[in-house]
């Protein structure tokens, strides 16, 4: 039996509690939050026996070997490092950290402890994405020339996900002081992993970040609304492929749309998670140069990241994405911020 604790009991922690509870041989034994009423309600809702206020109390009083960190981005580094120091395996939410230095420290410490460490790039739960990585790595699309990807949300223009103007759970995501890197750090981080994972490491990038006016005086209460809500990125990869990434919270008509198209000289593929996590569309160039019709390939199920984290603990074999991958993507986020500030292309 693997005894697991959840650190942070806000919105996303529900997904962690449900996903871990569904894995045989795992028991969520404890949770903690800095908000006592929230952690008490969360423990009751998910039937978790131990509820603690703050990580210190959790570490002092609960018996567990693994933890997931599901707190606001600015706290990931400190909490994960404390957990690693206490000898716990850690699944940390994305982005791994809010600075490149913190992300590198986390990757280094995690490697030195030999404990299992993973970052929750959850769109890797798409079996079609896993297959796309294999297809490209096998050379089935030939040389990759071009790719484009987008991650579109609309919670700033609609209420389907709740009212951001009155909810602290949304407001911290709009405020740099509250540790947010805006749309780039929140969803751009997923897209950067989703695109560069299969296509290849980035060599240089250009990024334009935009923060639109959202409230009178640019603030709501304590929240200064200064984090970006749109990011436009052009990337050049070490293998020569070039691509564009488009990320926004203003995409009216799209709740949570993630798309990747990749084009090589022997074929192309596309993934559209609105259609299915399991569907890869692919077309190939025939030996006579004709482009064959697009085919739909259903790729079945793949273990989700919660299952892979637990499997890594059981086998002692570190699966991806680990903290080192989280730090690589953090370097891309950092380069995007520099590029946007300097209005210039950044080499990686």
Ligand X SMILES: NC(=O)c1ccc[n+]([C@@H]2O[C@H](COP(=O)([O-])OP(=O)(O)OC[C@H]3O[C@@H](n4cnc5c(N)ncnc54)[C@H](O)[C@@H]3O)[C@@H](O)[C@H]2O)c1
Q: What residues line the site for ligand X (CB under 6 A)?
A: 7-13, 32-35, 38, 54-55, 70-73, 75, 79, 93-94, 120, 122, 169, 186
Report DSSP letters for 136-163, one per residue: HHTTTT-SEEEEEEEEEE-TTT-STT--
Give, as one character, the DSSP assignment of residue 183. Answer: H
CA distances from 92 to 12, 232, 268, 314 (A): 12, 26, 33, 18
CA distances from 174 to 11, 25, 187, 257 (A): 16, 39, 13, 20
Nearer to ligand X, 77 or 207 (CB): 77
Task: State which residue has the least CB distance to ligand X.
Answer: 10
Q: Which residue has the tokens 């990686």?
A: 348
- In the complex, minimum distance from the CB of residue 55 to ligand X, in angstroms, rounded to a whole number: 6
Nearer to ligand X, 241 or 305 (CB): 305
- In the complex, minimum distance from the CB of residue 324 to ligand X, in angstroms, rounded to a whole number: 18
CA distances from 255 to 55, 102, 345 (A): 34, 31, 31
Rounded to the nearest 10°, the torsion over CA 95, 99, 102, 103 is 40
CB atoms within 10 A of CB 73: 21
What whole-number distance in Å separates Cα of residue 146 and Cα of residue 200? 12
Nearer to ligand X, 121 or 206 (CB): 121
Nearer to ligand X, 55 or 132 (CB): 55
- In the complex, minimum distance from the CB of residue 225 to ligand X, in angstroms, rounded to a whole number: 16
- In the complex, minimum distance from the CB of residue 14 to ligand X, in angstroms, rounded to a whole number: 8
Edge-to-edge order in the sheet of strand 346-347: 295-298, 279-284, 267-272, 256-264, 144-153, 242-248, 230-237, 202-210, 346-347
Of 114, 113, 115, 133, the closest CA to residue 123 belongs to: 133
Nearer to ligand X, 120 or 206 (CB): 120
- In the complex, minimum distance from the CB of residue 299 to ligand X, in angstroms, rounded to a whole number: 20
- In the complex, minimum distance from the CB of residue 169 to ligand X, in angstroms, rounded to a whole number: 4
Nearer to ligand X, 120 or 154 (CB): 120
Nearer to ligand X, 119 or 141 (CB): 119
Nearer to ligand X, 69 or 237 (CB): 69
Nearer to ligand X, 52 or 206 (CB): 52
Q: Which residue has the tokens 């990038």?
A: 205
Which residues share a beta bridge with 51?
A: 31
- In the complex, minimum distance from the CB of residue 251 to ligand X, in angstroms, rounded to a whole number: 17
Of 332, 321, 312, the closest CA to residue 236 belongs to: 332
Asked whether 203 and 236 are in contact (CB, 8 A), the reply is yes
- In the complex, minimum distance from the CB of residue 313 to ligand X, in angstroms, rounded to a whole number: 19
- In the complex, minimum distance from the CB of residue 8 to ligand X, in angstroms, rounded to a whole number: 3
Of 244, 236, 183, the closest CA to residue 205 belongs to: 236
């Amino acid at each position: 039996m693997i005894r697991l604790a959840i650190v942070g009991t806000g919105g996303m922690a529900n997904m962690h509690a449900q996903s871990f509870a569904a894995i045989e041989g795992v028991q969520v034994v404890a949770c903690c939050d800095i908000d006592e009423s929230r952690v008490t309600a969360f423990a009751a809702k998910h039937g978790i026996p131990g509820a603690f206020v703050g990580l210190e109390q959790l570490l002092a009083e609960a018996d567990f070997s693994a933890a997931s960190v599901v707190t606001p981005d600015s706290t990931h580094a400190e909490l994960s490092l404390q957990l690693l120091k206490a000898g716990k395996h850690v699944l940390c939410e994305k982005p791994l950290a809010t600075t490149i230095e913190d992300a590198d420290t986390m990757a280094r410490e995690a490697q030195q402890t030999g404990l299992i460490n993973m970052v929750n790039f959850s769109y890797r739960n798409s079996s079609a994405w896993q297959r796309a990585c294999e297809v490209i790595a096998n050379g089935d699309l030939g040389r990759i020339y071009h790719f484009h990807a987008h991650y579109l949300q609309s919670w700033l223009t609609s209420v389907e996900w709740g009212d951001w103007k009155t909810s602290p759970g949304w407001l911290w995501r709009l405020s740099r002081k509250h540790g947010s890197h805006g749309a780039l750090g929140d969803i751009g981080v997923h897209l950067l992993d989703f695109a560069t994972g299969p296509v290849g490491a980035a060599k240089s990038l250009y990024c334009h970040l935009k923060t639109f006016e959202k409230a009178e005086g640019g603030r709501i209460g304590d929240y200064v609304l200064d984090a970006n809500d749109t990011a436009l990125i052009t990337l050049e990869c070490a293998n020569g492929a070039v691509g564009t990434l488009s990320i926004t919270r203003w995409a009216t008509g799209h709740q949570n749309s993630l798309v990747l198209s990749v084009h090589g000289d022997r074929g192309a593929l596309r993934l559209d998670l609105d259609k299915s996590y399991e569907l890869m569309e692919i077309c190939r160039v025939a030996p006579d140069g004709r482009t064959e019709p697009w085919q739909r390939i259903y790729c079945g199920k793949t273990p989700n990241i919660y299952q892979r984290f637990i499997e890594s603990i059981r086998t002692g074999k570190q699966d991806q994405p680990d903290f080192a991958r989280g730090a690589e993507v953090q370097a891309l986020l950092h380069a995007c911020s520099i590029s946007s500030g300097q209005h210039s292309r950044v080499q990686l």
